[in-house]
Amino acid sequence: MSLLAREEGMKLWRRMASWVLVGSLICQSLFVQDVHATDTDRKEEEKQVLVVYKNGKGKEAAQERGEVLYTFKTIPALSVEAKERDVNALKRNPNVLRVEENASFSITENKTSVVLKTANVGSTEETTWNVKMLHAPEAWERGITGKSVKVAVVDTGVTPHSDLQVKGGVSTVDYTSSYMDDNGHGTHVAGIISAERNGVGMVGVAPDADIYAVKAMNAEGKGTLLDILEALDWCIQNRMDIVNISLATSVDSPTLKTMVQEMANKGMLLVASSGNVGTMEETQDSVLYPARWDEVIAVGAVDEQMKRTWFSSAGPSLDVVAPGENIVSTAKDGISYVAKTGTSQAAPHVSGMLALLKQEYPTFTASQLRQELVKQAQDLGATGRDDWYGYGLVQYLKRAQIPAEVLQQIDLTLKLAERYQLSTYIDRAKQMIESLPESEERQAFMQRLQPLLRQPQVEAQPLPVREPSQMDLRNAELTLQLAERYKLPVYMDRAKRLIDALPDGATKQELLRRWSMIQK
């Protein structure tokens, strides 16, 4: 072959090699682009959102556009996993009310904690400072222990402990079906509410309340809106009495608020930590959600001296405060104890207190129990409600014991009113009932009185005037003795009327003197 031919062959070979190289690079580029496109698609598919629909068509659209993760039973909503373009399509759909991003939540405790062994918890159950501050032992002495009240702990889970029993529960996180605690926060919170009164370790505020573990937070103490909503949905379906939420977010989720309103409408009590983002120069509302909403009891933290802790979120949304610094409670290992700090620790004190009140006043509505909680609170800070302490420190106050004679007298007056429907009897019964302290008996009497107040009343005919008899003197004397003994308004008012009706004289003056001594 000539030299010229060989040179031409070499040129042709170089051209072919170049074409192969270019083709290879193009293929690699296309492959890389395809890989990137696949990654993008995958990221879009992993996007989790909450879809609230208006009607059946909206629900169908959500089901078609993404994978349904959970169908809510309480509200018209689905949690779905969908691509970005499908999410945007749902946002534009007229049958969809809204699409919410999956907001994040976190537990509300400070990072520092001290693990304690059983031997050095430091005090017996009844003298633990936080329990003593709330006067909880006074309730236990009267048999008020929160027995059979169902309290859900929406948290990182709850691990059964030698000092704590768990009635049941659920997990709404995606990596486990177990409600066991892999963080420690939930077990600590549950112990504050209902650790057993067994003479060792520590005791919860309501030692006989039933604890339900609702795991909605992960091992790092983090959670999502979808998991929290699913947890609250479970609480509604399983008819919890009280729900403790020692976690918070800065996101004002309209769907979460709707769920909270549904819970309140169904008579459930919601207690949440106010948050740990406060300062000692608090000038605005730093209470986080869900505690910030009116339907939720927002709880701040105080120390052993009943002073607001520096971190406790405060403001117009704050309702009450409770112990929240160096609180000893159950640890997730099932045998030891740990001291933790935060509004997360304050909230369960209030949940426990509500469990006590619910046992004591079983006929009370959630609204009435909440009012009773506020009424019994010890005012702290500025007089009346203030932004640092709300209505004050929650505590248990002994209910006044109503004498049997008083109850019998009211019952007799009500029977006369029910039989004769005379305004004299009805007015008298109303006055006597309203003078009673808040109690089950008062509620029962009021239920009997209400129908009488709604129906036409017969005016009593005036009785002829007669001279006072020995019976009048006897009635005045007996009623005055009851007033002196029990100091109840119902007796004091009646005694005064009976005495005033007596003729002037030494006997009347002596009875009036004794009556005036009661006023002092």
- Show which residues are catalytic: 155, 185, 344
| Whole-Å CA distances, 353 to 137, 190, 197, 312, 321 | 11, 13, 15, 20, 12
Based on its alpha-carbon atoms, the radius of gyration of the chain, rounded to whole angstroms, reads: 34
**Could you write out the DSSP letters of every residue in 206-251?**
STTSEEEEEE-B-TTSEEEHHHHHHHHHHHHHTT-SEEEE-EEBS-
CA 419 from chain center: how many Å? Answer: 44
What contacts 24+ positions apart, CB below 8 Å, involve 264-269?
A: 264/295, 264/366, 266/236, 267/365, 267/366, 268/235, 268/236, 268/240, 268/241, 268/242, 268/243, 268/366, 269/241, 269/242, 269/243, 269/297, 269/351, 269/354, 269/358, 269/366, 269/369, 269/370
| Whole-Å CA distances, 146 to 266, 267, 361, 376 | 20, 17, 11, 17
CB 285 within 8 A of CB 315: yes
The tokens 């505590």 sit on which residue?
A: 395
- Cβ neighbours around 341 below 10 Å, total: 22
∠ CA 262-264-270, rounded to 5°: 115
User: Which two three-digit tokens encode residue 405?
Assistant: 């004679």
Return d(Cα 180, Cα 423) in angstroms, integer: 62
- Cβ neighbours around 433 below 10 Å, total: 20
Q: Which residues, in sequence order, are CB contacts of 180 under 8 Å at separation 6+?
A: 157, 158, 159, 213, 215
Return d(Cα 103, Cα 106) in angstroms, integer: 10
- Cβ neighbours around 33 below 10 Å, total: 10
Calculated CA dihedral for residues 277, 279, 281, 287, nearest 10 degrees: 30
User: How are the residues of the chain apportioned to helix, strand and coil, as percentages rounded to the nearest 5?
Assistant: 45, 20, 40
User: Which two three-digit tokens encode residue 483?
Assistant: 């007033």
Secondary structure of residue 48 in the 3-state scheme: strand
Ramachandran region, residue 512 (left: φ > 0; alpha: ψ -120 to 50; beta: rest): alpha
